């Protein structure tokens, strides 16, 4: 039978590549690698799609995340793309906010940039555990609202949330600074031992704070006479 | 290809008819030139031995445009063309359309057929074809399709012919044209109202004996056609008279018709015009949308396409029937004819985009939901043609966006078909699935 | 004139390059020297002042070809149609929340897309054009962006952070344009704000050198179609409303008004009404075709060969040539003729719609009940019948609208879209009065059946012979009572809707049934 595509024998792809193509290709490849790391994390940590928020599981998940991103070259924009893909793309079958937040925190902590800005306003889901162990000399700005356990274990970095957070913000932070422009939920600063937590809006409830400073609408509310440090 | 000689003559014919006989406005534009669609497509039909269905309101020149084109191109005096026309009415008989027994011979007990002028001459006009009952439409199906006419075990085969059929819009007393018959028409054209200013001038000048009539040659031709000679001989004799009429046209009107050899030569020139790569790919894309069905393998008028299919954004979702194989043949013929007429070196996208609405409009059955969405939209064309114009533009936009990728997919298809181990390209459009089917790869998309 | 000559020379080549866009030959206008191109209803116009200014730095033909490439690509690729333009504007507005800034963001985005497409897919001198254009404000950033994504030296630079973010946007991926324009707008938001503030203070606006995008670019038909597609595509009524409100002035200036619920200047545009009108256009029924009917008499239909033993009465002597010979002789078979009949009259239609507190407010969210009512009205009006509306909440306290039978689409739509949000009670005298004004009209009633005087309604429906279609939402004791009450009435159809989205389809299905059997209602 005659080849019905005969006329296209010599039409190889007359592809003209412009730098935009390279940039987008590289972006896709990087995102793909980041997604692979996340999937590995889920495989190890979220069996049956259940992940329990516990001290030990967080630590373990973080070290798996670190291993997953080792050797990866990425930028702050790649992290943002990953956050976007979590929410919108069907590339990621499961969005479990705990491991997702830890993974993103690992990405931020190991990014080349000192200052990272994540634009998360459009996300429908609020990611937990952002800013986990943010180290000294790192500044993470999040445009949008965040979930629970934001900035827990902060280790010297500066975390700015241009939005609201939920519960257990700043829990266990050791040093550094967290600024939240709007409101926070319950158990704020639970177990924090140092650093500053500044809230521009209202705090629904405080946790058992050990040390550091906590401001609500520019007023220092911890330490002050009404609230004593919590000694375990 | 810059022959130019024949094209100049055809343009002269076009100009003569549009200036003197069929007064109307130009309504299409191509390559910077404006033409009247009825006249242009009439000429193309006459040149490429096509079959054209002309619709329009009564009295807007559907039949007369076909008569003038046929008369000048084939050099038959108008009287012969008039005499050979079939008019559509419910009591038409086979004897009036095709032929009848020779009465003298019949009385002697011998079968001999007297063929009608309609069956014999190459210019065939059926007036108001949709007034023919469906059984009569079936009767002329074979003749219309291949130029084969049968009666009483005798057969007459036309070497060349063009068919023009006219139809009014539906009203009391009209039937539908049966689907097999309508599919055999290459194109659908509307003969429009010329506008009040031009309409006023029609018939304003004194009626003179029609310039395309010649009683003497008409008589001679009539005698030839009625004669007993074999058909081939008759046609040779008729061609002789047509040569004389052609000289008459040249002397009196400055018009040069075409003899049979010239018409054949033109056809060969047309067939030699190739489609460029974009036109080729675009037509394939269009055909894919008109024939593909992911769920049922192909479009069928008895199977309904449901919502939720992956391909709801394409034409296959809006139509009921499948495109026939006559469609690409018609597209090719007319696109080549148009490119030839414009003295272009090949067929390009502009030619095919002009042709598609006219070759597709009568062949497509749209879903009611699509019709009702579109019928309120403002337009300058009859609804059938407008729908296809809009659909073709949508498909063209899709082509424009994914041109490079599609060309690559087709190139990979070539290689795969030739036996090379390559992976076909994936894409959203039905054409990619069609390519995979052609090279034997299974479609993995869920239903 | 030199510029005209160049256009005429280049036009065939440029058209071929872009696969023959259906655009007329571009013309020359005096124009300003800061703006190269105007596009109005498919007519491209090149500014001679701009051309003269740039000719000092570039070859004349290159300038013209680049400008034409840009203009044609807007027509052929982005935005292509008014729907795309509206969608891009709508998405940009979600970021900047200010009309002018959103319009500008959309314009710049479309320029980036069109120019990038041109640079990648066609042989073009657009890069050279940008090299010679002034680079201030947002154009400085965009030119720096072009340098990065096209790989050309355009004499710009800087704005690395912005350009890095902008360069990651997939401009040529049409499916992602909605997200892309949001990202694009986010990045340049602060520049847009600065620009806007400067203009407010100085009352002077820097024109876009490559022309503006506005409603001027589109014909009324294109706007019509675009609004229809946009109404079907948006997530909710508020988005549509906001966009149309923003563009109200331009739409009205263009002659697109609510007068006659279509086009033409008239009453000011009502975005809510327009939304339902456009959405209902996706749920239309075709106009009824002429019925095929039997003519009642036999006519000769076809010939068939006569066989020995068959009667002689129907022999066609003429086609048999006077011979009675098998194989020659033919007889007529006769058949009752079929032909196109005439239109039967279509009754008028009374819509009874519940706008009590339990129903959705159609001006806040998409109300499928209202959409269904609008679809029914459209179908009757299209077939030249009239429609009346009885919109009720607590009718006995005056929360009702009683609109007499008419052909006035706008009034009918306004009556349907009115929302009271109060209690639920009908005034049957109103309905009786309306019914008496037409000849046995069809009735469509859309309600959740939680009507305080339901028993009276049931009695009323039991007494009437009009065709009634009752669409009710939800399932409760009232609906059961209504169903039981109507069980024996053949002229009443009842539909319990689980998915509100089914309402228009159900109503249309019923209308279609009614329209194809008009004789039954007499």
Query: pLDDT tens digits, residue range C466-499?
Result: 888 888 877 778 888 888 888 777 788 888 777 7
pLDDT of A45 over the 80 cut? no
pLDDT of residue A229: 64
The confidence band for B311, taking pLDDT boundaries of 50, 70 and 90, is: confident
Chain B residues near residue A4 by CB distance under 8 angstroms: 413, 417, 438
Q: Select the more confidently predicted residue: B330 or C315.
A: B330
Question: pLDDT tens digit string along C69-125?
Answer: 999 999 999 998 899 999 999 999 999 989 999 999 999 999 999 999 999 999 999
Chain B residues near residue C286 by CB distance under 8 angstroms: 368, 371-372, 375
pLDDT of residue A121: 81
- A20 interface with C at CB cutoff 8 Å: yes
- Contact: C319, B94; criterion CB under 8 Å: yes
Domain with A63, as residue range(s), is 19-222
Mean pLDDT of all residues in chain B?
Answer: 89
**Domains and their CATH numbers in chain B:** 5-271 (3.40.50.300), 277-439 (no CATH)
Angstrom distances, CA of residue A142 to CA of A75, A105, A123, C159, C191: 15, 12, 12, 22, 21
B-C CB pairs within 8 A amount to: 84
Dihedral sign, CA of A211, A217, A220, A224? negative
Residue A227 lies in a domain: no
Rounded Cα distance, C95 and C331, in Å: 81
- Contact: C116, A20; criterion CB under 8 Å: yes
- What percent of chain A is predicted at pLDDT more than 70? 88
Question: pLDDT tens digit string along C189-240?
Answer: 999 998 888 888 887 777 788 888 888 788 888 888 899 889 888 878 888 9
Residue A53 lies in a domain: yes
- C286 interface with B at CB cutoff 8 Å: yes
Domains in chain A: how many in total? Answer: 1
Rounded Cα distance, B292 and A49, in Å: 41
Q: Using CB atoms, pick whichever of A4, A7, A8 lies closest to residue B438.
A: A4
User: Which residues, 6+ apart, have CB-to-CB distance to C46 below 8 Å?
Assistant: C3, C7, C26, C27, C28, C29, C31, C36, C37, C64, C67, C68
- Contact: C121, A16; criterion CB under 8 Å: yes
pLDDT of A212 over the 50 cut? yes
Domain ranges of chain C: 1-218, 220-283, 292-340, 349-521
- Contact: C339, B348; criterion CB under 8 Å: no
CATH code given to domain C349-521: 3.40.50.410
The confidence band for A61, taking pLDDT boundaries of 50, 70 and 90, is: confident
Closest CA to B246 of B214, B269, B215: B214
Residue A11 lies in a domain: no
Closest CA to C210 of C72, C67, C114: C67
Other CB atoms within 10 A of residue C303 CB: 20
Closest CA to A156 of A171, A175, A139: A175
Angstrom distances, CA of residue C471 to CA of C367, C390, C427, C462: 14, 15, 19, 17
Q: B99: nearest CA in chain C?
A: C319
- Separation in Å, CA of A158 to nearest CA in chain B: 46
pLDDT of residue C519: 47
* Placement of tokens 């067929």 in the chain: B347
Query: Residue C43: is the preceding peptide bond cis (ω within 30°)?
Result: no
- What percent of chain C is predicted at pLDDT more than 70? 90
- A122 interface with C at CB cutoff 8 Å: yes
Q: A121: nearest CA in chain C?
A: C95
Chain B residues near residue C221 by CB distance under 8 angstroms: 377-378
Closest CA to B397 of C111, C174, C252, C239: C174
Residue A190 lies in a domain: yes
pLDDT of C260 over the 50 cut? no
Mean pLDDT of all residues in chain A?
Answer: 85
Rounded Cα distance, C450 and C473, in Å: 10
Dihedral sign, CA of C165, C171, C175, C178? positive
Angstrom distances, CA of residue A87 to CA of A27, A35, A122, C223: 18, 13, 9, 34
- Contact: A11, B413; criterion CB under 8 Å: no
Mean pLDDT of all residues in chain C?
Answer: 84
Q: Full-prediction pTM beyond 0.80?
A: yes
Question: pLDDT tens digit string along C268-297?
Answer: 667 888 888 888 887 776 555 545 566 666
């Amino acid at each position: 039978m005659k080849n019905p595509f005969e006329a296209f024998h010599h039409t190889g792809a007359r592809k003209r590549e412009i730098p935009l193509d390279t940039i987008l290709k590289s972006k896709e490849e990087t995102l793909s690698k980041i997604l692979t790391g996340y999937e590995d994390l889920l495989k190890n940590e979220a069996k049956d799609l259940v992940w329990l928020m516990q001290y030990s599981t967080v630590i373990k998940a973080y070290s798996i995340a670190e291993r997953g991103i080792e050797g990866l070259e990425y930028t702050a924009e790649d992290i943002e793309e990953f956050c976007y893909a979590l929410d919108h793309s069907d590339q990621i079958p499961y969005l479990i906010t705990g491991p997702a937040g830890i993974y993103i925190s690992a990405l931020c902590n190991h990014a080349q940039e000192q200052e990272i800005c994540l634009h998360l306003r459009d996300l429908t889901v609020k990611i937990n555990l952002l800013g986990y162990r943010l180290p000294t000399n790192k500044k993470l700005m999040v445009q949008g609202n965040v979930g629970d356990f934001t900035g827990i274990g902060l280790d010297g970095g500066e975390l700015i949330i241009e939005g609201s957070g939920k519960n257990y913000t700043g829990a266990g932070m050791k040093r550094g600074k967290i600024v939240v422009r709007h409101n926070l939920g319950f158990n704020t600063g639970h177990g924090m031992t140092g650093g500053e937590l500044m809230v521009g809006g209202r705090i629904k409830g405080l946790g058992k704070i050990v040390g550091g400073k906590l401001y609500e609408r520019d007023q220092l509310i911890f330490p002050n006479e009404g609230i004593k440090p919590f000694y375990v | 290809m810059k022959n130019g000689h024949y094209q100049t003559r055809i343009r002269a014919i076009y100009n003569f008819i549009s200036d003197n006989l069929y007064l109307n406005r130009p309504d299409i534009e191509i390559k910077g030139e404006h033409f009247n669609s009825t006249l242009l497509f009439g000429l193309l039909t006459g040149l490429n031995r096509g079959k054209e269905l002309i619709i329009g309101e009564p009295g807007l020149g559907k039949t007369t445009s076909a008569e003038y084109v046929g008369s000048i191109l084939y050099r038959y005096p108008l009287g012969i063309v008039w005499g050979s026309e079939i008019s559509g009415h419910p009591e038409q008989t086979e004897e009036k359309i095709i032929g009848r027994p020779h009465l003298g011979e019949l009385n002697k007990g011998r079968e001999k057929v007297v063929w009608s002028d309609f069956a014999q001459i190459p210019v065939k006009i059926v007036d108001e074809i949709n007034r023919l009952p469906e059984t009569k439409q079936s009767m002329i199906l074979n003749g219309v399709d291949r130029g084969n006419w049968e009666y009483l075990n005798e057969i007459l085969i036309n070497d060349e012919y063009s068919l023009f059929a006219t139809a009014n819009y539906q009203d009391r007393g009209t039937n539908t044209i049966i689907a097999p018959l309508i599919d055999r028409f290459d194109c659908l054209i509307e003969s429009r109202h010329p506008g009040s200013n031009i309409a006023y001038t029609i018939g304003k000048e004194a009626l003179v004996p029609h310039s395309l009539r010649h009683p003497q040659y008409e008589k001679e031709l009539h005698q030839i056609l009625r004669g007993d000679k074999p058909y081939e001989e008759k046609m040779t004799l008729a061609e002789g008279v047509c040569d004389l009429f052609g000289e008459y046209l040249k002397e009196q009107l400055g018009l040069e018709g075409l003899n049979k050899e010239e018409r054949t030569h033109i056809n060969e020139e047309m067939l030699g015009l190739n489609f460029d790569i974009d036109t080729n790919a675009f037509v394939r894309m269009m055909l894919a949308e008109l024939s593909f069905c992911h769920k049922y393998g192909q479009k069928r008028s008895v199977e309904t396409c449901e919502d939720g299919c992956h391909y709801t954004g394409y034409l296959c979702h809006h139509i009921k029937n499948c495109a026939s194989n006559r469609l690409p043949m018609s597209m090719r013929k007319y696109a080549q004819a148009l490119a030839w007429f414009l003295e272009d070196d090949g067929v390009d996208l502009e030619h095919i985009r002009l042709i598609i609405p006219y070759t597709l409009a009568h062949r497509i059955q749209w879903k009611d939901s699509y019709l009702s969405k579109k019928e309120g939209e403002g337009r300058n064309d009859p609804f059938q043609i407008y729908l296809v114009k809009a659909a073709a533009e949508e498909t063209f936009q899709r082509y424009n966006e994914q041109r490079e990728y599609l060309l690559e997919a087709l190139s990979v298809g070539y290689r795969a078909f030739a036996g090379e181990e390559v992976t076909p390209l994936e894409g959203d459009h039905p054409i990619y699935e069609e390519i995979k089917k052609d090279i034997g790869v299974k479609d993995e998309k869920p239903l | 004139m030199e510029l005209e000559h160049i256009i005429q020379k280049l036009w065939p080549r440029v058209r071929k390059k872009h696969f023959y866009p259906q655009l007329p030959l571009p013309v020359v206008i005096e124009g300003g020297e800061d703006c190269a191109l105007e596009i109005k209803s498919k007519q491209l116009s090149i500014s001679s002042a701009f051309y003269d200014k740039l000719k000092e730095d570039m070859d004349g033909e290159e300038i013209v070809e680049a400008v034409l490439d840009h203009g044609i690509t807007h027509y052929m690729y982005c935005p292509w149609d008014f729907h795309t333009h509206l969608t891009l504007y709508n998405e940009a507005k979600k970021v900047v929340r200010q009309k002018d800034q959103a319009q500008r963001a959309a314009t710049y985005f479309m320029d980036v897309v069109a120019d990038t497409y041109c640079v990648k897919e066609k042989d073009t001198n657009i890069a050279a054009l940008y090299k010679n254009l002034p680079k201030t404000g947002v154009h400085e950033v965009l030119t720096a962006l072009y340098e990065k994504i096209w790989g050309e030296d355009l004499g710009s630079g800087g704005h690395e952070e912005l350009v890095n973010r902008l360069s990651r946007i997939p401009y040529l991926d049409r499916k992602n344009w909605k997200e892309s324009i949001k990202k694009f707008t986010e990045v340049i938001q602060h520049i847009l704000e600065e620009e806007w503030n400067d203009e407010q203070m100085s009352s002077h606006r820097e024109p876009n050198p490559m022309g503006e995008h506005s409603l001027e670019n589109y014909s009324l038909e294109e706007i019509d179609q675009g609004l229809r597609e946009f109404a079907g595509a948006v997530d909710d009524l508020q988005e549509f409303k906001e966009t149309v409100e923003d563009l109200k002035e331009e739409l009205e200036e263009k002659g697109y008004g609510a007068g006659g619920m279509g086009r033409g200047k008239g009453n000011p545009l009502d975005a809510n009404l327009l939304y339902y009108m456009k959405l209902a256009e996706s749920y239309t029924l075709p106009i009824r075709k002429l019925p095929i009917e039997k003519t009642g008499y036999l006519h000769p239909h076809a010939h068939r060969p006569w066989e020995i033993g068959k009667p002689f009465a129907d022999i066609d002597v003429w086609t048999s040539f006077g011979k009675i010979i098998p194989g020659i002789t033919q007889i007529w078979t006769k058949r009752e003729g079929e032909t196109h009949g005439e239109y039967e009259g279509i009754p008028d239609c009374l819509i009874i719609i519940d706008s009590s507190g339990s129903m959705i407010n159609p001006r806040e969210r998409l109300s499928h009940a209202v959409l269904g009512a609008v679809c029914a009205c459209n179908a009757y009006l299209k077939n030249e019948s009239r429609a009346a509306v009885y919109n009720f909440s607590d009718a006995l306290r005056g929360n009702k609208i009683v609109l007499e039978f008419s052909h006035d689409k706008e009034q009918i739509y306004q009556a349907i879209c009115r929302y009271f949000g109060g209690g639920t009670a009908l005034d049957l005298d109103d309905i009786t009065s309306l019914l008496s004004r037409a000849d046995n009209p069809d009735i469509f009633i859309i309600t959740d059946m939680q009507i305080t005087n339901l028993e009276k309604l049931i009695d009323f429906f039991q007494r009437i012979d009009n065709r009634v279609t009752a669409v009710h939402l939800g399932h409760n004791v009232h609906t059961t009572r209504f169903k039981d009450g109507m069980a024996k009435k053949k002229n009443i159809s009842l539909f319990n809707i689980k998915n509100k989205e089914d309402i228009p389809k159900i109503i249309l299905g019923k209308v279609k049934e009614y329209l194809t059997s008009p004789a039954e209602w007499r």
